[in-house]
Amino acid sequence: MIKAGIIGSTGYAGQEIVRILLGHKDAEIKWYGSRSYIDKEYASVFANMFELVPDICRGEDLNALCEEVDVVFTATPQGLCSTLVNEEVLSKIKIIDLSADFRIKDVETYESWYGIRHGSPEFIEEAVYGLCEINREKIKTARLVANPGCYPTCSFLSIYPLARAGLIDMKSIIIDAKSGTSGAGRGAKVANLFCEVNESIKAYGVASHRHTPEIEEQLSYASGQETIINFTPHLVPMNRGILVTAYADVTREVSQEELRSLYEEAYRGEQFVRVLKNGLCPETRWVEGSNYTDVNVKYDPRTRRVIMMGAMDNLVKGAAGQAVQNMNLMFGLPENTGLMMPPVFP
């Protein structure tokens, strides 16, 4: 039985880890860490856990955690995990970090986009980018996994087959992405109040969103080419979900059939990436509450561009589900353990 601790268990992503691990046959939660709710019952913070989680919230003392658990999930704001990680900690436990602290390999790029100093740059190179469909073998032997961001996961999985095949101009990519409000976290912010987001949709982080360098870096690895994107996220008045519509110029003449075959080949055997039937567009409602990502592609011969599409739940495959998928790999379990919940509808 894997013993798990969660630092940041009272955020949306942390609570989703709790929900998933409660149904995981090979894991148990030993520590519910929370800076804001120390000594309070976890179920008083999330009433959906009433009579399911009797534990109280504890602090975020990673040194104490090391003595009680095998793995720690850090579902915390950027900058915290990098101040906690050290060789002594990593010699005792595995860490799956849901923040951006170890996702970007160039420390100057990280510090520039996030506006904070990195606390342990010596571990950046060791950290494995935890996109299971791409780095499965590396994840299996990792001590420190950088769980990908929600927008980068959906964007990458939508674009990857054509980037890998060299069929798109990697400096022509435009990503239009939309997310539910849970992606902004649980903190109180005026911009996220009901009256501010209901009956509206808006772009934000235009030409400056912090997930931009992460997407560019991973697509550069996949294509073997420098990648420069325009990435524009939008806030949509729904709780969960991410929808990505990405556009790119093709490098040569292609057919719809060839594009389809590349997606089917890239994701053959991948349980959590579903290539939809030809002509169907991904919808967030068909992946809500699940670890699935639905993708599809369409070629526009008139403009010689491809339209690459993806939908997923930002809290599951975009955060907690992917983190548990990483845990399964790190501990030698079947990758889908605890993650076979079907999407919720309506």
Q: Which residues are catalytic?
A: 150
- CA 12 to chain centroid: 13
Burial 325-339 (b: 16+ CB within 10 A, else e): bbbbbbeebebebbb
What stretch of H or E contains 271? none
Three-state DSSP state, 253: coil
Task: Kindly state the tokens that stand for 57.
Answer: 């919230």
Residues facing residue 27 across a β-bridge: 2
Q: Residues 21-52, buried b or exposed e (16+ Cβ, 10 A)? A: beebeebebbbbbbeebeeebbbebbeebeee
| β-bridge mates for residue 128, sequence order | 145
Element (H, E) at 32: strand 27-33
In terms of phi and psi (left: phi > 0; alpha: psi -120 to 50; beta: otherwise), the region of 52 is: alpha
198-to-132, 187, 194, 232, 237 alpha-carbon distances in Å? 35, 18, 6, 20, 5
What's 56's DSSP letter? B
